[in-house]
Amino acid sequence: MKQDTLRVVITGASSGIGAATAIAFARQGAHLVLGARGREGLEDIAGRCRQAGGQAQVQLVDVTDAAAVAAFAADARDTLGGIDLWFSDVGIGVVGRYLDVPMTDHRHVVETNLVSHMNEAHAVLPVFVAQGHGIWVNMISLGGYMTSPYAAAYAASKFGLRGFSAALRGEMHDHPRIHICDVYPTFVDTPAIYHAGNYTGARLTYPPGALAPEKVADAVVKLARHPRATTVIGMPETVLKLGQFANPLAAMLMNRFMKKWSKRAEPVRDTTGTMYTPPVAASGIHGGQRRAGGQRNTALAVGAAVVGVAIAARLLSRR
Q: What angle do CA 25, 168, 120 make, to 5 degrees?
A: 50
**Which of 145, 139, 125 has the alpha carbon at shortest distance from 239?**
145
List residues with catalytic annotation: 154
Taking the C-alpha atoms of residue 167 and residue 148, their distance in angstroms, rounded to an integer, is 23
Q: 235, 299 in Cβ contact below 8 A? A: yes
Taking the C-alpha atoms of residue 25 and residue 211, their distance in angstroms, rounded to an integer, is 19
Exposed, middle or buried: residue 214 (CB in 10 Å: 0-12, 13-18, 19+)? middle
